[in-house]
Amino acid sequence: MTSTVSFLTTKPHLVVIGNGMVGHHFVEQLIEQSGHQVFDISVFGEESYLAYDRVHLSEYFTGKGAADLAMTDGRLYDEHGIRYFTNSLVTEIDRAEHRLVLQNGETVPYDKLILATGSYPFVPPIPGHQRDNAFVYRTLDDLDAIRECANKVTRGTVVGGGLLGLEAANALKNLGLETSVVEFAPRLMPVQLDDKGGSVLKGMIEGLGVKVYTDTATKEIVAGDDAFHRMNFADGTHLETDLILFSAGIRPQDALARQSGLDIGERGGISVNNHCLTSDDHIYAIGECALWENRIFGLVAPGYAMAKAAVGHLLGHAGVTFMGADMSTKLKLLGCDVGSVGDAHAQSQGCKVFVYQDEISQSYRKMVVSEDGKKLLGAVLVGDNSYYDTLLQYYLNAIDLPDQAQSLILPTMDGAPAALGVDALPATASICSCHNVSKQDIHDAVCNGALSVADVKGTTKAGTGCGGCAALLKKVVDNELLALGVEVSTDICEHFAYTRQDLYNLVKVEEIKSFDALLHKHGKGHGCEICKPAIGSILASVWNDYVLKKEHISLQDTNDRFLANMQKDGTYSIVPRIPGGEITPDRLIVLGQVAKEYGLYTKVTGGQRIDLFGATLPQLPEIWGKLIKAGFETGQAYGKSLRTVKSCVGSTWCRYGVNDSMTMAIDLENRYKGLRSPHKIKFAVSGCTRECAEAQSKDIGVIATEGGWNLYVCGNGGMKPRHGDLFATDLDDATLVKYIDRVLMFYTKTADRLQRTSVWMDGLEGGLDYLKSVVIDDKLGLCAELEARMQHVVDTFQCEWKTTLEDEDALQTFRQFVNHDGDDNNVVFVEERDQMRPATALEKQQLIAKVG
Amino acid sequence: MAMAWKSICKQSDLVAGAGVAAMVNGEQVALFYVPESEHQVFAIGNWDPLGKANVLSRGLVAHLQDKWVVASPLYKQHFELTSGQCLEETVSVPHFQAKLENEQVYLLLP
């Protein structure tokens, strides 16, 4: 990838070496502050890809492609006249001449230089470390090589039990290998955890089938007897394995700086000051290659802060400096929560410690407090990170601890940890450390009109980095909205002082079967176009009655009322169900014949069905009579219900398919076709990770893997696109259906009126993890009920059009006029591209003029 | 001109809580049957002046701040059933006096 912007310019030339996350962030910041108008900018990257999200690198093995991880497709650079060169290794800095030498021999002049060269994985110099089938875990190319090898072997071993090592072990496990971890130190994650924490984590990880060897030094790697490698340990024992992955820490990539004679730290790293300026006034260093006060910062947030400081200095903005960074971190490793805050090892002078350990549910928590017990200095969490946000805020903002400080790590009886009210946070509290957004910034954004979490994310970027602050962000935004007096009333309308979720529960628990009964018991007045369809939908979700029953008919909104989609001229479109998009030639012919007979406009929909437009009210039952006779069912395109399950042909036909996506799509569509839900629901099933069915943009997305199915939930195309979240991997058919049953019913039970799954998910306190705990771990003890409810819906499915054709009363309501046989004379069609379409107002006038 | 009650259709042609369309002197009229209201039946023009289609009879009947209204099925503006006045915009649709008698629906027409 190379841009085509010309070098001819009079502006000073700024060159960025390195296009990782930090190098890219630097460019973004520079553009945001109009630096591209001051400098002529070139970016050189050694890899063949532009910047990608290395923090989420492991997701490359669980369904994400290079494009998903990409942080830019080059458009941002092109639009701002920034040249970029991938596959371009800079081999020399000629500081005297102010020019760079590239590997291909070309030279490039510079006026200002930014080194964002990152780090490289440290490979311990164990004899045999250069053997084949030994890898590091840093780039997409590394991952491609690992995957290729893993496909052929059965056993994999990670050397290094730190944060990155465990991340890599997770990747090997996901690739289906029998996985071991070998750590030199006496415990896992020696930097972040204490002995106890490390041993609890070890127990948890071993419980997942990963073998852990701590306190183990590898003496040499030689050819194995029954595996590719044999690792001989210092204590005389050994381990046979096919694949070795070195993840024993990182080292700053400072080769260029060394070559050109910049100041380097004793143990590596390019020395920088608070402006990230190196010992050369024209050269800055940022990110993992930079050494600030003898420290390397191996996290992305400090790298971003350095990028900001360098941009500030380049553009002459005083006051933006790098002053170190907090290295607290929380993450999920192999499914285990691990958190570390501040002084995790209790090394501060005179500090005191609280410890809580639960060997039954395997969790461990430690708080390090100041000698007087007033301030939190550090913490270690293993097994449950729900305590992390509160502890971090106490730590970062030096808030006085409450009297019973230990309560912050003790389990509370109702299951939720005691949270710090967001009111207690000072304005300077950092809410999102990736993008350095403070509580004050959020307050300002809300005051300037950002009235939802999504809006605040858009204006401040909070929550768009690692996403760890999502729950806290929501609380702060809600709190700010309340403070502003923005009424966050949750009443559905003036007739019911309840949320949709309350109404759902009332209907279910009190076995209420009609709107009138609910209104009489819990509402007031006579209902409106908000509560009527919402309750109509709830009644349908819970009892699955025929929606045009006498007591339900007046509740139905525009499209449900006549079981078809009203178009702008008052005619309707008809969408029969075509499960999975699979249709026989005979049925296709029937659709053609019906469309021809009634002169309908015909179009293929995005959901792989066929939409027939222009039917009048009285034509609807006639047309459906013919469709049902030919074996079609209603497609419920009019309902807040399951629309389609889009699919590819999968392993049946496709050379690349790994599973039968076609059958799965049809089965899923037939299972959920009757479900009435808070909003429409779309599914897709892809037969391999090429993802032709675009499952990640659907409410429920299923992607075939070698090991079964990966399930994605709460994606959305439409107005606010959102990628689905990976919910579970390598599921068998039965588990997949079970999880979908539960997710959909939990959504139907708890979402707001007209809330798509994506918005529902964004609003769920605890987000994806919470949904997993409800659906997979049955945290609320609801799973059996959710499944039973879904089974009821499946068992009581009826084609609403079939029922309607058998119901004389309902058919009466499809008359155009109750006292007259004519048509609506305002419905006028003209021809375009050999089909009819509604005439425009102007065309109607002209037509009437001609007739008149 | 003298006004007179004219029979339009049978009560059984109506749908409780909702609307139907009728043709009256060459104009489309939307008839609403709301058993719990004092009036029982309402009649307004079927033409939605904002959505520009003959659809008001197919809207949802609602009761908002003591007024009986219909929400247009196209873009959801409310029209008052007694006056034809739109609540959101300064437009209105024709309205007619209507009554139920002997299971027949009558409109007062010129």
| Range of lowest pLDDT (A66-70, A118-122, A312-316, B11-15) | A66-70
The answer to whether residues A3 and A76 touch, using CB atoms and an 8 Å cutoff, is no
State whether A791 and A645 are in the same domain. yes
Query: Are B62 and A554 in contact (CB < 8 Å)?
Result: no
Nearest residue, CB atoms, A568 vs list B17, B53, B59: B53
Residue A191: give the domain boundaries.
134-248
Going by C-alpha positions, the residue among A362, A374, A373 that lies closest to residue A400 is: A374
Largest Cα–Cα distance in chain B? 37
For residue A472, the domain's CATH number is 1.10.10.1100
* CATH number of the domain that residue A177 is part of: 3.50.50.60
> What is the pLDDT, as a whole number, of residue A475?
80
Position of tokens 């701002």?
A80
Q: Which tens digits make up the pLDDT trace of A779-795?
A: 888 899 999 999 999 99
Give the minimum alpha-carbon distance from A573 to chain B in angstroms, rounded to a whole number. 14
Let me know if residue A472 belongs to a domain.
yes
Which of A550, A817, A826 lies closest to B53 in CB terms? A826
What is the pLDDT at residue A174? 85
% pLDDT > 90, chain A: 57
Q: Does A6 contact chain B (CB < 8 Å)?
A: no
* Domain edge (last residue) among A285, A314, A343: A314
A528 and B62 within 8 Å at the Cβ level: the answer is yes
| Cα–Cα distance for residue pair A547/A560, rounded to 1 Å | 8
* pLDDT surpassing 90 at residue A665: yes
Report, as an integer, the average pLDDT of B74-79.
90
- How many C-alpha atoms does A422 have within 13 Å on its Cβ side? 21
**Statement: residue A452 has pLDDT above 60:** yes
| pLDDT on residue A7 | 53
The answer to whether residue A450 scores a pLDDT higher than 70 is yes
- Please tell me which of the candidates A558, A561, A822 has its beta carbon nearest to residue B23: A822
Q: Please name the residue of chain B whose CA is at the shortest distance from the CA of residue A493.
A: B64
Residues A153 and A167 reside in one and the same domain? yes
List A residues 476-495 in contact with B (Cβ-Cβ < 8 A).
494-495
What is the distance in angstroms between the Cα of B2 and the nearest Cα belonging to chain A? 24
Inspect the interface and report whether the beta carbons of A561 and B18 lie closer than 8 Å.
Answer: yes
What is the band of A598 on the pLDDT scale with cuts at 50, 70, 90?
very high
Per-residue model confidence (pLDDT) at position A848: 67
Range A631-639 average pLDDT: 94
Tens-digit pLDDT profile for residues A393-414: 889 888 888 878 888 888 765 5
Is the confidence at residue A237, as pLDDT, over 50? Answer: yes
pLDDT at A487: 59
Half-sphere exposure of A247 (CA within 13 A, CB side): 29
Tell me which of A429, A457, A488 is where a domain ends.
A488
Q: Token digits for A591?
A: 């659709």
Contact between residue A367 and residue A406 where contact means Cβ atoms under 8 Å apart: yes
Show residues of chain B in contact with A820, CB under 8 Å. 22-23
Mean pLDDT across chain A, nearest whole number? 89
Chain A residues touching B61 at Cβ < 8 A: 554
* pLDDT value of residue B19: 96
End-to-end CA distance of chain B: 6
Task: Mark whether A632 and A716 lie in a shared domain.
Answer: yes
Tell me the pLDDT tens digit for each residue of A675-717: 999 999 999 999 998 999 999 999 999 999 988 999 999 998 8
Pair A93, A113: CB distance under 8 Å: yes
Question: Is the minimum CB–CB distance between A841 and chain B shorter than 8 Å?
Answer: yes
pLDDT tens column, A754-770: 889 988 888 787 789 88
DSSP letter string over A669-682?
A: HHHHTT-B-SS-EE
Q: Give pLDDT, residue A24.
A: 95
The structure tokens listed for A232 are 């001989």
pLDDT of residue A839: 92
Instruction: Report in angstroms the alpha-carbon separations of A300 from A20, A21, A22, A23.
Output: 10, 7, 7, 11
Q: How many domains does chain A have?
A: 4
Task: State how far the Cα of A59 lies from the Cα of A714, in Å rounded to an integer.
Answer: 17
Q: What does the pLDDT look like over B48-66, one tens digit per residue?
A: 999 999 999 999 999 988 8
Residue A849: pLDDT over 70: no
Residue with tokens 């903005």: A317
> Which of B21, B68, B73 lies closest to A816 in CB terms?
B21
Alpha helices in chain B (DSSP H): none
Tokens, residue B96: 């007619």
Cβ <8 Å between A566 and B23? no
Query: Does residue A333 belong to any structural domain of this protein?
Result: no
B73 touches chain A (CB under 8 A): yes
Sequence-separated (6 or more) residues with CB below 8 Å from residue A436: A301, A304, A305, A308, A430
pLDDT mean over A281-299: 93
The answer to whether A115 and A285 are in contact (CB under 8 A) is yes
* Integer Cα distance of A155 and A50 in angstroms: 32
> A145 and A107 in one domain?
no
- A554 with B60: Cβ contact below 8 A: yes
- Burial degree of A800 (CB within 10 A; 0-12, 13-18, 19+): buried
In 3D space, the residue among B23, B17, A738 whose CA is nearest the CA of residue B9 turns out to be B23
Q: Which residues of B touch A841 (CB under 8 A)?
A: 52
> Measured between alpha carbons, how far is A304 from A432 in angstroms, rounded to an integer?
12
pLDDT computed for residue B65 by the predictor: 84
A26 and A77 co-located in one domain: yes
Between A162-176, A229-243, A485-499, the lowest mean confidence (pLDDT) is in A485-499
Phi, psi of A249 (to 5 degrees): 105, 170
DSSP state string for A695-735: GGGSSEEEEEETTEEEEEES-B-SSS-BPPEEEEEEE-HHH
Q: With an 8 Å Cβ cutoff, is A842 touching chain B?
A: no
* Closest chain A residue by Cα to residue B66: A525
CA-to-CA distance for B55 and B90, rounded, in angstroms?
A: 19
Q: Are both A639 and A757 inside the same structural domain? A: yes
Assess contact for A241 and A155: CB atoms under 8 A. yes
The verdict on residue A677 lying in a domain is yes
Q: What single string gives the DSSP state of each residue in A285-317?
A: E-GGGEEETTB---SHHHHHHHHHHHHHHHTT-
Q: Is residue A192 located within the same domain as residue A167?
A: yes
- B58:A820 CB<8 A: no
Considering the domain architecture, whether residues A464 and A583 belong to the same structural domain is answered as: no
Q: Which of A526, A533, A817 sits opposite B63 (nearest CB)?
A: A526
- The CATH number of residue A586's host domain is 3.30.413.10
- In this prediction, residue A499 carries a pLDDT of 84
> Do A273 and A183 fall into the same domain?
no
Contact, A337 vs A385, CB < 8 A? yes
Which distant-in-sequence residues (6+ apart) come within 8 Å of A489 by Cβ? Answer: none
Strands A211-213 and A178-182: parallel
CB of A566 closer than 8 Å to CB of B59: no
CA angle A126, A129, A135 (to 5 degrees): 135
Span of A212-216, A496-500, B28-32 with lowest mean pLDDT: A496-500
Q: Which amino acid appears at position A51 of this protein? A: A
Pairwise CA distance, residues A149 & A151, whole Å: 5
Q: Is the pLDDT of residue A615 over 50?
A: yes
Please indicate, yes or no, whether residues A760 and A645 belong to a single structural domain of this protein.
yes
Average pLDDT of A140-163?
A: 92
Q: How many Å lie between the alpha carbon of B45 and the closest alpha carbon of chain A?
A: 13
Q: What is the mean pLDDT of residues A726-748?
A: 95
- Amino acid symbol at A660: D
Helix (H, G, I), strand (E, B) or coil at A140: helix
A570 touches B: beta carbon within 8 Å: yes
B64 shares contact with chain A (CB less than 8 Å)? yes
Mean pLDDT, residues B19-39 taken together: 94
Q: Is A516 on the interface with B (CB under 8 A)?
A: no
Asked which of A771, A795, A819 is the last residue of a domain, the reply is A795
What is the arithmetic mean of pLDDT over A290-316? 91
Substitution target from B11, B47, B54, B57 for chain A, most A beta carbons within 10 A: B54
Q: Is B60 on the interface with A (CB under 8 A)?
A: yes
Asked if B56 is an interface residue toward chain A (Cβ–Cβ < 8 A), one would say no
**Separation of alpha carbons A267 and A259, rounded Å:** 16
Contacts 24+ apart (CB under 8 A), A497-500: A498/A522, A499/A752, A500/A534, A500/A538, A500/A678, A500/A751, A500/A752, A500/A753
Q: Which of B10, B23, B48, B66 to mutate to test the interface with A (most CBs of A within 10 A)?
A: B23
Do A648 and A743 belong to one domain? yes
Window from A220-224, A422-426, A652-656, B81-85 with minimum mean pLDDT: A422-426
Decide if B28 and A817 are in contact by the 8 Å CB cutoff: yes
Flag the least confident range among A211-215, A372-376, A481-485, A547-551.
Answer: A481-485
pLDDT tens digits for range A326-346: 888 888 777 788 999 988 888
Is the residue at A829 inside a domain? Answer: no
- From the list A532, A550, A822, the residue facing B60 with the nearest CB is A532
Q: Judge whether B27 and B61 are in contact, CB under 8 Å.
A: no
Residues from chain B contacting residue A819 (CB–CB below 8 Å): 8-9, 13, 22-23
Question: What's the pLDDT tens digit per position in A1-18?
Answer: 444 444 555 789 999 999
Separation of alpha carbons A412 and A530, rounded Å: 39
Please give the ipTM for the structure prediction. 0.95
pLDDT of residue A403: 79
Distances (CA, A) of B5 to A425, A516, A828: 71, 33, 33
- Torsional class of B42: left (φ above 0), alpha (ψ -120 to 50), beta (otherwise): beta
Q: Does the CB of A792 have a partner CB in chain B at under 8 Å?
A: no
Nearest Cα of chain A lies from the Cα of B23 at a distance, in angstroms, of: 6
Tell if the CB–CB gap between B22 and A816 is shorter than 8 Å: no
Query: Cα distance from A672 to chain B (closest Cα, Å)?
Result: 27
CB proximity B109 to A under 8 Å: no
Do A578 and A649 fall within a single domain? yes
Of A554, A816, A824, the CB nearest to B61: A554
Q: pLDDT at position A466, please?
A: 66
Domain spanning B4-109: CATH superfamily: Rieske [2Fe-2S] iron-sulphur domain (2.102.10.10)
- Let me know if residue A367 belongs to a domain: no
Q: From CA A498, how far away is CA A524, in angstroms rounded?
A: 12
At A730 the pLDDT is 93
Phi then psi dihedrals of residue A498, to 5 deg: -140, 160
Say whether residue A568 is in contact with chain B using an 8 A CB cutoff.
Answer: yes
Residue A638 touches chain B, beta carbons under 8 Å: no
